[in-house]
Amino acid sequence: MSNATIHPTATVSAQAQIGAGVVIGPYAVVDDHAQIGADTKIGPHAVIYNYTTLGERCDVHAGAVIGDAPQDLEFEGRESYVKIGTDCIIREGVTIHRGTKPGTATTVGDGCFLMAFSHLAHNVILGDRVILANAVLLAGYVEVGAGAFISGNAVVHQFCHIGRLAMIGGLSGIGKDIPPFCTTVSACRNRIAGLNAIGLRRAGITPAERADIKKAFNLLYRADLAPKEAAARIRAEISAGPALEMADFIDLSKRGICPYSARDDKD
């Protein structure tokens, strides 16, 4: 606990690993076998349970609960994990549960921002720089690609995959997979609205790459092709670049791809 600042009301296990420059606030709890990276801040009343690893420079706000047992009747109480990368912001009331099966983990990449009262169930995987707005609920085994943005009060069914740089509208209900770079219709269930054009530009995707992504999107959603046929056409007509991620995503999808709705399509 070298150079750590721990409030006298906090409860910190002697078995926890606390990095240099860590700040732990009033009434916070850090359990056995927790690892807190250097310069991370733990807010008041936050709870960091067993087998949780927080990377460096994270900011955990008041009342967050990280590493509690999964809400899964199959959980046998054996050792499983939560692993959180560097430079993550975890706002007040966020809950993150550890993996269900022994040795498995719920994983959060670097630079993620989880807003108030969002929830990560067991075995969720977030890529780097994912943003979850307030009260987003991700069920077990959901995977979210790097740079995706999920708007407030959206809910995602277990085992769904959300592709890189996708943007999910607020109040959405997602029960199928969302391909990379796509947006969904807000306050609607399983409806693709178009492409995340602004997000693509902000991510540094070049104009030529964006044109290929739009072509891939049109093959998937506007060419009257089955998804597997669309994936084959994408590979046949586009030789390289991020557009091919859409073809790979289609081929790996197990829950099926969300259908397209022309409403609010502004790509």
Span 31-56, pLDDT tens digits: 999 999 999 999 999 999 999 999 99
Domain 5-141 CATH superfamily: Hexapeptide repeat proteins (2.160.10.10)
How far apart CA 53 and CA 135 sit, in angstroms, is: 23
How far apart CA 29 and CA 32 sit, in angstroms, is: 10
Span 217-242, pLDDT tens digits: 999 999 999 999 999 999 999 999 99
The model carries a pTM of: 0.95
Kindly indicate the confidence band of residue 266, based on its pLDDT and cuts at 50, 70 and 90.
very low
Kindly indicate the confidence band of residue 2, based on its pLDDT and cuts at 50, 70 and 90.
low
Residue 265, pLDDT > 90, answer: no
Note the pLDDT of residue 169: 97
Residues whose CB falls within 8 Å of the CB of residue 96, separated by 6 or more in sequence, listed in order: 64, 65, 66, 67, 68, 82, 84, 90, 106, 108, 114, 119, 120, 124
Note the pLDDT of residue 57: 98
The residues of the chain that CATH labels 2.160.10.10 are 5-141
CA-to-CA separations, 41 to 64, 131, 165, 186, in angstroms, rounded: 12, 19, 28, 34
pLDDT (average), residues 123-141 = 98
pLDDT (average), residues 60-67 = 98
Note the pLDDT of residue 188: 95
Average pLDDT score over the chain: 96
Q: Angle 207-221/227-237 helices, nearest 10 degrees?
A: 150
Q: How far is CA 105 from the centre of its chain?
A: 14
Span 147-192, pLDDT tens digits: 999 999 999 999 999 999 999 999 999 999 999 999 999 999 999 9
* Domain 200-252 in CATH 1.20.1180: yes
Which residues are paired to 182 by β-bridges? 195
Residues whose CB falls within 8 Å of the CB of residue 203, separated by 6 or more in sequence, listed in order: 147, 165
How far apart CA 244 and CA 213 sit, in angstroms, is: 8
* Dihedral angle sign, alpha carbons of residues 3, 9, 12, 14: positive
Using a CB cutoff of 8 Å and minimum separation of 24, what contacts does 249-254 make?
A: 249/161, 249/163, 249/177, 249/179, 249/180, 250/179, 250/220, 252/161, 253/161, 253/177, 253/227, 254/159, 254/177
241 exposure class (CB count in 10 Å sphere: 0-12, 13-18, 19+): middle
Note the pLDDT of residue 27: 98
pLDDT more than 70, % of the chain = 97
Kindly indicate the confidence band of residue 263, based on its pLDDT and cuts at 50, 70 and 90.
low
Note the pLDDT of residue 261: 87
